Amino acid sequence: LPRRGPKPPFTDKGRRLRLCPIKEQKIVVDELSNLKKNRKVYRQQQNSNIFFLADRTEMLSENKNILDELKKEYQEIENSEKTKVKK
């Protein structure tokens, strides 16, 4: 295949790497959203293999907020890269 010139920086491997946490977080939110009301949710204690019972709606809310923050950060990076390309 003929080469069509250099790729813009926002289509590179770095972009895919920045999208991975967003995709993972979307899956977590979807899984929590689709749980039946009577299902139990556990939170892993940081840096250990200990799990504690957690509130499903609280966990869903927290993970939605994390997803929103990741999307916002990604959008800011994309916008800054696009302005660099324009200059």
What's the average pLDDT block by block, 10 residues per block, for the chain (87 residues)?
A: 49 76 96 95 95 97 97 90 73
Residue 81's identity, in one-letter code, is: E
Reading the block at residue 57, the tokens are 């709606």
| Whole-number pLDDT of residue 3 | 47
| Whole-number pLDDT of residue 2 | 47
SS3 51: strand
Do the beta carbons of residue 18 and residue 77 sit within 8 Å? yes
Distance separating alpha carbons of residues 9 and 3, to the nearest angstrom = 16
Show the domains of the chain with their CATH numbers. Answer: 12-82 (1.10.287.370)
Distance separating alpha carbons of residues 36 and 28, to the nearest angstrom = 15
SS3 13: helix
Whether pTM exceeds 0.75: no
